[in-house]
Amino acid sequence: VSRFLKTSGIVMKSRDFGEGHKMVTLLTDSAGKIDASAFGARKSRSKFGSSLEQFTTARYLLYRGKPENPYTVREAEVVSSPTALRENLGKYLLGSAMIEPPLRFVDKAQPDPELYALLATGLEVLQHIQEERGTALLSMYDLHFLDRMGYRPDPETCVRCERVLSGEQSRGADTMYGFPICTACAHMSEVAGAGRIQVTPSAAAFVQWALQNRLTQAMKVVMKIETMVSVRWIISCLYSATFSQVPQSWDQLVLPEE
């Protein structure tokens, strides 16, 4: 087993420790989510440059003496350093909301090149997209992330009673079962005090469309506010049903509200 790992990675989290060192959490294409230390990274002429800053994508040469030891960063070559995500508050918050699900809900050291590609693409598109399309992009990203985790919603079947739902039938979402739930199940959830349940038909259609399209298509999405509110409700129900919680970074996001 080689003690060296050469991999592409995205910095999800970066923090200082000790006398001028840094520790990063990377999502890598070949080794999944890993922690790595970089000694002397905060010296004024550090060879690491911006390769250890949040949102950066780089090629890393990592080393560990034994498989049970943590990695250290030996070399890093920046591939993409998305400055827009650091300079624009709206994009920074959207980028943080993209990073949090893999940071919190994915196990360490589980290689998943598709998840890596999803985050890399999400951050890349976010760098270039018009800010008002950012929520549509984040929503597509969230749905693709849930799909990667094995929770792809099937708009044709109630997740609670498994009744088949035809195209025009109205649908709901709740925090216990997710999306979609049929009208009868939605009524039971409402009685149980689970709040607003029904989703708009265009929000249900967006969910289906988003799962069939690449994130770059977010650049073209034009959506009414009430559709976006409904989409975010569906996604928050999917996270709640899957992980029993929604990403904390959403608290900071300026999402449309009714």
Maximum separation of any 2 CA atoms in the chain, in Å = 64
Which phi and psi angles does 106 have, rounded to 5°? Answer: -110, 135
Q: Sign of the C-alpha dihedral, residues 83, 89, 90, 92?
A: positive
Which phi and psi angles does 173 have, rounded to 5°? Answer: -145, 145
Cβ atoms of 127 and 84 closer than 8 Å: yes
- Coil, helix or strand for 85? helix
HSE-up of residue 227 (Cα within 13 Å, Cβ side) = 14
Q: Nearest approach, Cβ of 161 to Zn ion (angstroms)? A: 3
Taking the least distance from each CB to Zn ion, the nearer of 120 and 182 is 182
Q: Nearest approach, Cβ of 197 to Zn ion (angstroms)? A: 12
Q: Write b or e for each residue in 102-121: b if 16 or more Cβ atoms lie within 10 A of its Cβ, otherwise e.
A: bbeebeeeeebeebbebbbe
Taking the least distance from each CB to Zn ion, the nearer of 58 and 173 is 173
* String of DSSP letters for 10-28: EEEEEEEETTTEEEEEEEE
Q: Token pair of 136, please? A: 């549509």
Taking the least distance from each CB to Zn ion, the nearer of 53 and 156 is 156
**Which residues make up the interface to Zn ion (CB under 5 A)?**
158, 160-161, 163, 182, 185
Q: Nearest approach, Cβ of 162 to Zn ion (angstroms)? A: 7
Q: Nearest approach, Cβ of 156 to Zn ion (angstroms)? A: 12
Distance CA 113, CA 118 (A): 9
Taking the least distance from each CB to Zn ion, the nearer of 162 and 257 is 162
Taking the least distance from each CB to Zn ion, the nearer of 182 and 235 is 182
Q: Nearest approach, Cβ of 199 to Zn ion (angstroms)? A: 14
> Which position has the token pair 């195209």?
167
Q: Nearest approach, Cβ of 158 to Zn ion (angstroms)? A: 3
Taking the least distance from each CB to Zn ion, the nearer of 24 and 182 is 182
Q: Nearest approach, Cβ of 230 to Zn ion (angstroms)? A: 19
State which amino acid sits at residue 6. K
Taking the least distance from each CB to Zn ion, the nearer of 36 and 158 is 158
